[in-house]
Structure 1
Amino acid sequence: SLNASALYFGVALGAVVGAAVLRFGAPADLGLIAAVFPIVGLGIVLAGRMFARPVAMPAE
């Protein structure tokens, strides 16, 4: 399913970014870089809500 694919993509992306941080930085930098991902995710969710079209609700 698409949800599982997104989950696996996130795990793979985290491994790649973590390896790059360890290669070019210090282990102490992992926390700072890891904190960026939820902030970016929140920005994507908020942008999606801002640009979403309202759904017409049927009259009762």
Structure 2
Amino acid sequence: KTDPTQWTARYVIWGKRGCQGIIVHGICILSTADLPTLYNRHELFANKFQLKTDPIAYQCLE
């Protein structure tokens, strides 16, 4: 069994639990409400943002 604390590449929320955005194909589309959680994560990348869904969240990351 893999230890999820060992993964540093990509932050993904599967399903609605912990997702403040919308779910598409079982994956959370992160929103501005998810940014405080994302700020405290150690992963190098976040999956996934959509510019047309929440353009402010995308701009906050720049």
- TM bucket, shorter chain: under 0.3
| Structure with max Cα Rg | 1
TM-score in terms of structure 2 length:
0.23
TM-score in terms of structure 1 length:
0.24
Report the structure, 1 or 2, having the larger helix content: 1
Report the structure, 1 or 2, having the larger strand content: 2
| Bigger relative contact order, structure 1 or 2 (CA pairs below 8 A, ≥6 apart) | 2
